[in-house]
Amino acid sequence: MIRILVVCMGNICRSPMASSALQGLLDQRQLTHRFEVDSAGTYAGHQGEKADPRALAVATARGYAAIHMERARRVVTNDFQRFDLILAMDRDNLMHLEHQCPPQYRHKLHLYLVYAGVTGTTEVPDPYHGSAEGFESVMRLCEAGALGVVQRLTMEDAGE
């Protein structure tokens, strides 16, 4: 089983959206037995909260039910050992992870879109202070990233 952790700052917008897009794609491709997906934040201010209502609306409209199960949590030290792949939504969160991560696990840290091979941008912008259209745009990036991550991991797993 490959364990993937998606990380943003508060764990109420980008990372639960990306996590739900990943989970939805894995469900669609009947790969859930091979992957575990979770999300977390580098900031503790929203711990225990559900995803932002705008993130919930965008994910629900696309049929991603997994987002309703998530509650915001902060990255903990054990996450670096437990997860095989830790994908940050932007450089700031990647930097926070690098500072927190024990040296032997730093090879697991990547930018979500870069790891996924998405071209044109390297970071998923934070839609929190923006409009509903910002959440739509972020979901499109999360879906593109999910597709790239799953394609990369299934090719690696197949030895290609």
Asked if 15 and 8 touch (Cβ cutoff 8 Å), the reply is yes
Q: Judge whether 142 counts as a catalytic residue.
A: no
Q: By three-state DSSP, how is residue 99 classified?
A: helix
* Cβ-count burial 56-93 (b if 16+ within 10 Å, e if not): bebbeebebebbeebebbbbeeebbeebebbbbbbeeb
- For residue 157, indicate whether it is catalytic: no
Structure tokens of 103?
A: 């040296």
43 token code pair = 């900031």
CA distance 9 to 138: 14
Of 8, 13, 101, 142, catalytic: 8
Whether 8 is catalytic is: yes
**Do residues 118 and 143 make contact, with C-beta atoms less than 8 angstroms apart?**
no
Helix (H) or strand (E) holding 148: helix 132-157
Active-site entry in 54, 101, 126, 142: 126
Catalytic residue among 13, 14, 90, 101, which? 14
Residues with catalytic function: 8, 14, 126
